[in-house]
């Protein structure tokens, strides 16, 4: 081979990637370079293939993780799963209760709704609710800030758990039995407040107006009598401040639900901004004011305590503390007493006031029912005699009216929530630990399986063929069910019976001329189905 020819060839083909002349002898370098180039090309293809395989694998892992995150675990009830962290967010103008009703129509007696990070289960069937609330699996309350109000552990009886709840419930039931529930002192206190309410109504008789503010004073004074042996006039500055505190606390504490359902916001927002969002300082300020009120009462009781003659719940609790100070299982403390008082006022006043307001609405809207009740009251309590619990068995229709009002108004529309303490089964579904369970009380109270023509206001459904009052065994749960049934049920029933009888012994009620009663519930709140604002005319009856 001519070397110059080869060299010239290399110069003309240098750009093609051939090796320099010194490496090319008798053409052997061409084959070798071709093999090297081929091997490099194959290596490049293998690298590209490997890279693509890794990318596909990573994409598959990502898809799997997203699927696992978005996928509803097997075995759970049907319902709305939504997105991680935020859950299912409906885009609708309907109220929360209306949405729950719609979901029951779609999914049946049991469905779930993931709200933020909370897994909520809603039960529509009475038997299923009774089963759940009778089991220790569902005895606890959720660990919500709404229930704790910035306490490490919830106190009192309504929202506490474990031994603390057990001890407080046992104590409260005993005190309600010993201090009230038919005792002459308690009945006398309710009668006294009923007379005050009648006097206030008489002052405005014949004039259209709202249910008088004295109703709140009446109910609060009954609780003050039982808790602290105190009574207040409506004009009392302390009582007015206390009522304002209660109203403000109910409104502002709703913001705590943000912390319960979207807890991760606290980790990504500046502390001052998150506290502003949940109205931390406003809620804490109101809570501290309540604590000061109750602390003053406790200190006053400690200074005047007679161990041989306990006057009220505070006295009895202080004696319980002393009696059990060496008991290793005691949970008694002054701090716990404060929150027990807190429970008594909130649970005992709001429910009774709103139920009586609903009763006025339904009687004004159904004059024929009102006339029958008037007739019964006049027969059993002639000449204006004051009612006691002794007359209750002889007034079945009045009892029927009160219970029918509790059914149709379904005041506490979802009850107080329960929580699954561990993974368990209910209604054929898996209920995971931490899931929150609510009874859809309104749906149960309007369930055709338990009530004939449930949308009708019909007190007669509570009377047997002999005209005697009876409570159906199923389908009715205004005070809850199971192990955490309301401890104040007997007190609430006594108050409603005596106040209803006393007021309508002296007055009839009707809407203003030319107007009708609005029986549509106010569904703007989460915990209560309050009555819409209505004006009434109370008219004095001739005795």
How far are the Cα atoms of 191, 370, 398, 517, 520 from residue 365, in angstroms, in the given order?
A: 26, 9, 16, 6, 12
Cα–Cα dist 357/354, whole Å: 5
Q: Nearest Cα to 409, choosing from 474, 489, 343, 351? A: 351
Task: Write the CB contacts of 528 (distance below 8 Å, at least 6 apart in sequence).
Answer: 350, 354, 411, 412, 413
530-531/521-522 β-pairing: antiparallel
Q: Nearest Cα to 18, choosing from 43, 36, 2? A: 36
The H or E element spanning position 118 is: strand 118-123
Output Rg (C-alpha) for the chain, integer angstroms. Answer: 35
Output the CA angle 280-282-288, nearest 5 degrees. 100
| Alpha helical stretches, state H, 366-454 | 367-380, 396-409, 441-445
The 10 Å Cβ neighbour count of residue 232 is 16
Cα–Cα dist 275/149, whole Å: 13
At how many degrees (to 10) do helices 334-365 and 313-323 cross? 150
429-431/537-540 β-pairing: unpaired
Cα–Cα dist 496/490, whole Å: 10
The 10 Å Cβ neighbour count of residue 88 is 16
Q: Is 486 annotated as a binding residue?
A: yes
| Alpha helical stretches, state H, 324-465 | 334-365, 367-380, 396-409, 441-445
Residues belonging to the binding site for heme are 486
Residues belonging to the binding site are 486
């Amino acid at each position: 081979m001519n070397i110059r020819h080869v060299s010239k060839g290399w110069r003309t083909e240098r750009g093609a990637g051939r090796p320099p002349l010194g490496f090319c002898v008798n053409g052997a370098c061409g084959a070798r370079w071709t093999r090297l180039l081929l091997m490099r090309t194959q290596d490049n293809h293998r690298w590209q293939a490997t890279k693509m395989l890794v990318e596909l694998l990573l994409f598959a892992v990502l898809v799997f993780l997203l699927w696992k995150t978005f996928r509803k675990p097997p075995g759970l009830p049907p319902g709305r799963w939504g997105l991680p962290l935020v859950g299912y967010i409906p885009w609708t103008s309907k109220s929360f209760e209306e949405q729950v009703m719609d979901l029951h129509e779609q999914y049946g007696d049991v469905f779930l709704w993931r709200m933020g990070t909370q897994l909520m289960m809603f039960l529509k069937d009475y038997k299923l609710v009774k089963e759940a609330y009778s089991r220790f699996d569902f005895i606890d309350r959720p660990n919500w800030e709404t229930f704790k109000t910035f306490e490490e552990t919830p106190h009192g009886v309504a929202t506490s758990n474990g031994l603390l709840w057990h001890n407080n419930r046992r104590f409260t039931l005993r005190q309600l039995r010993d201090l009230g529930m038919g005792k002459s002192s308690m009945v006398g206190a309710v009668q006294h407040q009923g007379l005050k309410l009648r006097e206030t109504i008489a002052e405005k008789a014949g004039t259209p107006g709202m249910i008088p503010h004295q109703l709140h004073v009446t109910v609060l004074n009954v609780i003050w009598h039982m808790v602290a042996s105190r009574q207040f006039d409506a004009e009392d500055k302390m009582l007015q401040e206390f009522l304002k505190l209660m109203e403000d606390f109910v409104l502002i504490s709703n913001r705590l639900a943000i912390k319960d359902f979207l807890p991760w916001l606290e980790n990504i927002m500046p502390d001052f901004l998150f506290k502003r969002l949940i109205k931390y300082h406003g809620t804490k300020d109101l809570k501290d004011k309540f604590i000061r009120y109750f602390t003053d009462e406790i200190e006053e009781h400690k200074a005047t305590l007679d161990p041989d003659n306990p006057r009220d719940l505070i006295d009895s609790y202080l004696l319980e503390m002393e009696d059990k100070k060496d008991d290793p299982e005691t949970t008694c403390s002054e701090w716990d007493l404060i929150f027990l008082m807190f429970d008594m006022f909130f649970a005992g006043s709001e429910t009774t006031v709103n139920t009586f307001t609903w009763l006025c609405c339904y009687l004004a809207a159904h004059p024929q029912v009102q006339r029958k009740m008037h007739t019964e009251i006049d027969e059993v309590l002639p000449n204006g005699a004051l009612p006691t619990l002794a007359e209750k068995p002889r007034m079945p229709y009045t009892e029927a009216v009160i219970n029918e009002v509790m059914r149709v108004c379904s005041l506490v529309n979802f009850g107080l929530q329960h929580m699954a303490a561990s993974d368990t089964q209910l209604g054929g579904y898996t209920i995971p630990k931490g899931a929150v369970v609510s009874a859809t009380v309104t749906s149960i109270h309007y369930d055709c399986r338990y009530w004939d023509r449930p949308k009708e206001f019909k007190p007669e459904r509570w009377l047997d063929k002999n005209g005697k009052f009876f409570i159906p065994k199923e389908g009715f749960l205004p005070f809850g069910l199971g192990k955490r049934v309301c401890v104040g049920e007997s007190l609430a029933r006594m108050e409603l019976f005596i106040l209803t009888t006393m007021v309508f012994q002296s007055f009839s009620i009707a809407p203003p001329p030319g107007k009708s009663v609005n029986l549509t519930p106010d569904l703007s709140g989460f915990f209560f189905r309050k009555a819409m604002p209505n004006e009434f005319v109370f008219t004095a009856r001739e005795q």
